[in-house]
Chain A
């Protein structure tokens, strides 16, 4: 475990922290079930794939995460602790592309107001790598990405599907909208015109 002691030191000295919270209109048990099952959800933004346990240990996983079109990273994680209906903590294994440690904590709200979910991730910013270039083209900071991931997670739990307008009919001369929803250009155009 020398590699992960090194991770702890590295995160302490050089890490950056991102946090995001979301409230999901579901009982705490359903949210926890969703969270532990998340790696098995093929719909989750199409971003997580090929999830598999590493070796005989059920607490170590690897999965592929899409970074951008035609490029995926293989991540390897280790579950550090898991408290049912309360908390999950994990950290990356040494040969994972982004060194990080994270936790997800749940709290049920009174009067059927749903479940609060808070995610904290400490990571070593992969600046100076190809990731930096990728981040530039995506124009989204890690915190925004985390918010969007939680937002999609909530959607799946609350509605059973992910709202999309990809492949909506429109007149583009050639036919379908090639860009799909969430396109950065549209976002920027909208901002400029406001």
Chain B
């Protein structure tokens, strides 16, 4: 089968690899019909996240059709259409019982690697290095899904892939980040990063009752898409974020701040340069530029929600400011399985339309170009969906995108 394989920094290729097989009784095999490139894939693409091995299959956002089930799987049958959560959860451990699925004790077969790098044995994830278990990813024709009887969510026929695909990661991620902001009536929330997750967070914040959402990014096209969802926007290319936010919040600062950027933030000024140098020589893994700015900008006693991925250690974390402001920090990997049923319902009712952020639909063969375009934030690229079934290059991407941005009546 074909799969998008990692071969080093900024080097992904489509290779022929063996097809996956059922290994454990609770496994299922899914023929992938749609798979997306996630912002967090760029941490691997740029070789910032440890534990990748040349030839590993990428991708953790995918959906498709069940083509084989293990002997213990009673909840799904061949032919079912499912969205596969990016995080793998067993459903039986202490954390899963408490719906803290991304803390699952049992889904990561490499607890030592995970502990060494992340500081704790995290859950298994698809296509995200030895640290999360070395599971082969979903940017492939087929994927083996462990604990297939628990994680994947069945989706009805008739609704386009693109409307439900993001239930696997960015939609629940954005929703959880918004929920972590603990939105109260009248709240103004600032969101750093108008990438796919930031876009989902903006929509989720409004759905959860935020009065205003202010979005900070450097890419005009992304800010425009955020504005379409009702957010106020600020281009931070030349700095001035603090002054802007103070001006827009009557000098008080936002009630909550959401970091949807993470460890590869592009810092300005001296501190940004220092972080870049530290990261390149390996004495700091994460560039916490955005996190610093969030802490500085939010009001006293605000909530800081961290969605952007951090992997290791960050320097010059302003703990004093955070303490003296009395901030509450909430963060962590998304708990997909706790949210996807509710979010599927919202998608089916048209209450949230995740497909509107898709800018490119391509075949799997075009993965290398698509990664480069997404990484360089060129071509208006915000979200790429790849179709493993599609072997020829679509002549008119714009038509494809119009087609998937289905806004007609939603099938019951």
Report A's interface with B, CB cutoff 8 A: 23, 25, 112-114, 144, 148, 151, 154-155, 158-173, 175-177, 181-183, 186-187, 189-191, 193-194
Contacts and interface: CB of A to CB of B under 8 A. Distances in A.
A24 to B, nearest CB: 9
Given A113-B94, A171-B13, 4 more contacts: A159-B90, A160-B25, A163-B106, A169-B140
Interface in B33-84: 50-51, 53-57, 72
A169 B20 contact: yes
Contact of B131 (A113, A148, A190): A190
Nearest to A43: B24
Interface string B125-159: 00001110111100010001011000000000000
Contacts of A154: 93, 105-106
B17 A194 contact: no
28 contacts: A23-B94, A25-B93, A144-B112, A155-B106, A159-B26, A159-B91, A159-B93, A159-B147, A160-B26, A163-B133, A165-B133, A168-B20, A169-B20, A170-B55, A171-B17, A171-B57, A175-B18, A181-B109, A181-B130, A181-B133, A182-B109, A186-B53, A186-B113, A186-B130, A189-B51, A190-B130, A190-B131, A194-B117
A104 B406 CA distance: 59
Interface residues of B, number: 56
Contacts of A182: 109-110, 112
Contacts of B26: 159-161
B3 interface: yes
Nearest to B48: A193
B97 interface: yes
Contacts of B53: 170, 186, 189
Contacts of B311: 194
Nearest to B56: A170
Contact of B136 (A23, A151, A168, A173): A168
Contacts, number: 144
A148 B117 contact: no
A167 B117 contact: no
A35 B110 CA distance: 23
A111 B313 CA distance: 36
Given A114-B94, A181-B109, A194-B117, A171 B5 contact: yes
Given A158-B90, A162-B24, A176 B18 contact: yes
B57 A163 contact: no
B239 to A, nearest CB: 31
A96 to B, nearest CB: 28
Contact of A169 (B25, B116, B136): B136
Nearest to B15: A171
Nearest to A140: B112
B19 interface: yes
Given A163-B108, A169-B19, A170-B136, A190 B117 contact: yes
Nearest 7 CB-CB pairings of A with B:
A171-B15, A171-B55, A190-B51, A193-B50, A158-B92, A168-B136, A171-B5
